[in-house]
A and B are shown apart, each in its own frame.
Chain A
């Protein structure tokens, strides 16, 4: 239940502004790939192109190819909705639906699409997803309470449960821990380690230690200056990127000389 992503010569635009230039990267199935780099270098922008969330913003567009197991996401006639149901996303700030209970939040992907599901199946799905997100034990007695009553870390795990409930091939995480305390961050990182047994995980992070802890491969993005496009500088095994990078800029960044 996981697919690889191959990106070829991808340019990302906001209107006429070239935000990310010429990215070519292979993301392996059943592994964790981390994107690191200074603020504004286009990591999140690039991540959002991987499930066509980028084009939700007015004027945003891309050139190039993103292949999900060989199928181009940006091919003619491809429905972005189909893409997004295969490639889930977890956002920087936890965003459970405020009008729904914890249970309904987990079932949101099913219910919002009006798919028929029996109560028994729904119970199984809720339990499996919440267990998958390491949240079951904390919320099993209050599934009917609103999701917004949980703590920040619990809300973020609820969002992960919501994402895996639709059984995607790939999970994209856009700085999932940046709004969380160290304990919740640890919980999410443990969860990411478990998720890679089943899913392809791509995570954007500002925290280099986090990238080193959770990822198998790391991609370093950089930007030459304000108004210039972000670029993929280097990608490789996390160990190599942090200990023996080939590019000078990568070495400077991971050793804390800038950024």
Chain B
């Protein structure tokens, strides 16, 4: 073996006509520099810089690719740029919202007593003093947090049995008959009901049944159930449908009755999906403002009885703090409280979403040896 027949080459013949690996980075650096230069001419701002650089990057990479690699690869690069670009555009508002709420909300949240005090007795005098003399901002969201938790809990207690049983009827007993199809249709219609209409319905219903002017947490809970039930029905229905028919047949073949099969085999198999569906439905209604405003009114003090008296909630708290500041002359403390409440609301929704994932994992049918 004195010599090999293969000549020593720098690049494989199979990878000829490709852009070098560092090409995107070079183009990106150039795009950033040129973008900065262009922006410097018209007045620099970070947002414009990002947009201009992204466009320059796409144009540069695609045309370089077209020159070296040919049109197919250039189209591929263009598609990649569009997909990644759209992804970034979609992420932008999310991060912007989280960032804004964090920046504005943290001071409110960190104020002593924010989570443990209500707005009872907090007047414009205190807010004016806080602005003029730098004393701590008084007042908190305890009453609103309590209201939100209670109203949502009651709404869940109403919606889950109704929604789950409806889903069970549709999947297990409905047989796709006339009634089942009618229910499916009306559930779809319910999904599209504007939330304010649900609120008006609950208010009108209680006015008629209990008496005019009935505004309590329970009325709000009914309004929220109207919004929650279709979501629970839909998600539970999907989850029950994907339980394999073989499991039902296996239970029937053991001489198990239908309702026992549903209760002990079908629902336990689908419980993780149902539970996470319910949690997401809760997350969906916890931030509803309009139906609560017309049904539970607005309170500044603690009311722990959902069946009597006006009740505050986080969304209505935010709404009133922004629209009618406690001290109209100095709205800053009010807006600080509103942002703090908004942060708490987002944290609640995030906890619910994480909870849904946790529930799904805990209840999921176990595999493994």
Contacts and interface: CB of A to CB of B under 8 A. Distances in A.
Interface string A83-97: 011101101010111
Contact of B369 (A82, A99, A149): A149
Contact of B255 (A142, A150, A166): A166
B247 A97 contact: yes
A145 B368 contact: yes
A88 B247 CA distance: 14
A163 B250 CA distance: 9
B268 interface: yes
B192 interface: no
A163 B249 contact: no
Contact of B246 (A93, A145, A149): A93
Nearest to B260: A112
A215 B110 CA distance: 79
Nearest to B271: A99
Contact of B252 (A53, A93, A142): A53
Interface string A111-128: 111100000000000000
Interface string A125-160: 000000000000000001001101110000000010
Given A84-B253, A91-B246, A166-B254, A146 B260 contact: no
A149 B367 CA distance: 5
A53 B249 contact: yes
Contacts of A77: none
A134 to B, nearest CB: 19
**Size category of the binding interface on chain B:** 20 to 34
Q: Which of A86, A95, A148, A149 has the most CB of B within 10 A?
A: A95
Contacts, number: 90
Given A95-B244, A159-B250, A113 B255 contact: yes
B249 A91 contact: yes
B365 A95 contact: no
B265 interface: yes
B367 A148 contact: yes
Contacts of B175: 58
Interface of A: 51, 53, 56, 58, 81-82, 84-86, 88-89, 91, 93, 95-99, 108-109, 111-114, 142, 145-146, 148-150, 159, 162-163, 166
Contact of A95 (B250, B260, B261, B264): B250
B367 A89 contact: no
B11 interface: no
B251 interface: yes
13 contacts: A58-B175, A84-B254, A85-B255, A91-B246, A95-B244, A95-B247, A97-B265, A99-B268, A108-B254, A150-B369, A162-B250, A163-B253, A163-B254
A99 B265 CA distance: 8
A83 to B, nearest CB: 8
